[in-house]
Structure 1
């Protein structure tokens, strides 16, 4: 079975073709980073328009890459949500329309389910059940995964997600969009111990997260250093100070995630961990979680770096799993800007 995956939830247009026998046959991705850089963040209307321009050429390119024609495709999977409603409508409309024209089934896929199953694209994959740490855009969630569609939400962010806090703190440090990766790069030059940031919500039971206060702490720290620099006659905060603040912030986020995951492992007894989403590409996070899981005698799984951010491959894989079990949407085109994982159907 060969499935086209279409991902247009935010600022990447991702198209892929996945086969249950041959694996990933094609992977096309267009990023809108340059388009949104001048605005310091994603502009939803511009994102939607760019998806319209790129989606059909990328589908054609994926078919060429895979050596396929439309007659070789058995189904289409497209991201239904969560995401930006206009961007989602582009992928859903094109995916559903192509499926109707080609007389094949089509199915809307949960974006977060796609991220969670992205490690299944690798050679070494986790067995069910496993714990999933999802750190993607506006989501920070710990999920117990018993199988496809068998998802129990154990904890999530009650305000800013980790990725949002990274981006907002990066802006406070004067870093360009996309802020998260730039903050991580700056943190590599930082020195440990100069600043100590709080580990929010770790002094109380539970697995929920809160990173809004951490962002505020960073803002206050930066403001204090700016004042000291002005009093000393300096032209702003020096590069090393900015790097040390970035390190302390990143260390606090990663340590908070580690603390919560240790609690989840203790509560569930599950020592297989999947980490997915854009923040899962963070080098420091990977190092610290590898150390943690080694102490737990467990194992951690990641998608390759190119599949940490939004992509069509994860949607194609998730779609194939559901389509071959009889999944098929009606002709009505529906998108879900908010779509909790625990509302998914099991297969």
Structure 2
């Protein structure tokens, strides 16, 4: 069985084809970073228009890369939410229309479920249950995962997601958009002993998180100490250390509370080198295992949507003829399915 996956939830257009026996056959990705850079952030209308231009050409390229035609496909999966409603509607409309024209089923996929299952694109087996840390641009979640669709949200950011906090803090330092990766690169040159930022909500019980205060703390630190190159590097290092330590503390707490020794980290921020090192150290200290996608599948991509869509299609799920998008869609509202993984 082969399925076409389409991802258009935000500022990246991703298309992939997944085979349930051979795995990932082909994938293409187009990033809108250059388009939005002049505005210092994502412009939803521009994002939607660019998806309109890029999705069909990428589908053609992906089919060509896989050496397939539409008659070789058994389904179409598309991201239905959460995300920017206009961007979601582009992928949903194209995905649903192609499925109708090709007379194959269409599957509406949850964007964060795609991220959560992205490590399953790798050869290393990922057994259930596990704790998942989902850290994308707009979401920060700790989730107990018992199986595909069996999700319980244990904690989340009550304000900015980690990715948002990185980008906003980078903007305070005068870094270009997207600032998160640039901030992390700058932090490598920083002195970890020069500034100490708070670790929000780590001294109180619970698994919820807060990161917007770190942005304010960074702004005040810049105001009091200047904004020369080394000072910015020191502030970047202090900020990143605070974020990473907070996430590690929360993961450690969740693993202990739910008696787990397997941790999945996924989403764009899961590519952060410092975070991966610290979480690997944590899992080594408790004789546990950590799983994450390869770098190219940390950010939004069609491969994760194709994989998640395959699992749901094999379970008999598909959409009707209506085109729907869900900009807000809690992951714990998904139905559970049986999986061979």
TM (norm. structure 1) is: 0.96
- Name the SS of the counterpart of 1:309 in structure 2: coil
Q: How far apart are residue 274 of structure 1 and its match? A: 0.4
- For 2:219, the equivalent position in structure 1 comes to 219
- For 1:340, the equivalent position in structure 2 comes to 330
- For 1:91, the equivalent position in structure 2 comes to 91
1:36-56 Cα distance to aligned partner (Å, 9 max, x none)? 000001000000000000000
Distance across 2 between alignment mates of 1:6 and 1:225: 46
Q: How far apart are residue 264 of structure 1 and its match? A: 0.3
- Name the SS of the counterpart of 1:257 in structure 2: helix
Counterpart selection for 1:252 from 234, 242, 248: 242
1:149-172 Cα distance to aligned partner (Å, 9 max, x none)? 000000000001111100000000
1:300 aligns with 2:311: no
Q: How far apart are residue 62 of structure 1 and its match? A: 0.4
Distance across 2 between alignment mates of 1:71 and 1:22: 18
- Write out aligned runs for 1:53-64 (5 A): 53-64=53-64
Q: How far apart are residue 219 of structure 1 and its match? A: 0.8
Could you tell which deviates more after superposition, 271-280 or 217-226? 217-226
Distance across 2 between alignment mates of 1:186 and 1:311: 26
1:55-100 Cα distance to aligned partner (Å, 9 max, x none)? 0000000000001000000000000000000000000000000000
- Name the SS of the counterpart of 1:303 in structure 2: coil
1:330 aligns with 2:302: no
Distance across 2 between alignment mates of 1:98 and 1:138: 29
- For 2:262, the equivalent position in structure 1 comes to 272
1:107 aligns with 2:107: yes
- For 2:311, the equivalent position in structure 1 comes to 321
Distance across 2 between alignment mates of 1:49 and 1:162: 27
- Conserved? CA contact 1:105–1:328, under 8 Å: yes
- Name the SS of the counterpart of 1:119 in structure 2: helix
- Conserved? CA contact 1:125–1:301, under 8 Å: no
- Conserved? CA contact 1:3–1:19, under 8 Å: yes
Distance across 2 between alignment mates of 1:184 and 1:332: 43
Distance across 2 between alignment mates of 1:64 and 1:272: 38
- For 2:194, the equivalent position in structure 1 comes to 194
- Name the SS of the counterpart of 2:224 in structure 1: helix
- Write out aligned runs for 1:277-296 (5 A): 277-296=267-286
Q: How far apart are residue 216 of structure 1 and its match? A: 0.7
Q: How far apart are residue 214 of structure 1 and its match? A: 1.1
Q: How far apart are residue 192 of structure 1 and its match? A: 1.0
Distance across 2 between alignment mates of 1:187 and 1:170: 11
- Name the SS of the counterpart of 2:25 in structure 1: strand
- Write out aligned runs for 1:106-255 (5 A): 106-226=106-226, 237-255=227-245
Distance across 2 between alignment mates of 1:192 and 1:63: 48
- Conserved? CA contact 1:12–1:31, under 8 Å: yes
Distance across 2 between alignment mates of 1:99 and 1:149: 24
Structure 1 runs (4+) greater than 2 angstroms displaced: none
Unpaired runs of 5+ in structure 2? Answer: none
Distance across 1 between alignment mates of 2:237 and 2:133: 22
- Name the SS of the counterpart of 2:287 in structure 1: coil
- For 1:229, the equivalent position in structure 2 comes to none
Q: How far apart are residue 125 of structure 1 and its match? A: 2.9
Unpaired runs of 5+ in structure 1? Answer: 227-236
Distance across 1 between alignment mates of 2:146 and 2:324: 27
TM (norm. structure 2) is: 0.98
Root mean square deviation of aligned Cα: 0.6
- Conserved? CA contact 1:137–1:161, under 8 Å: yes
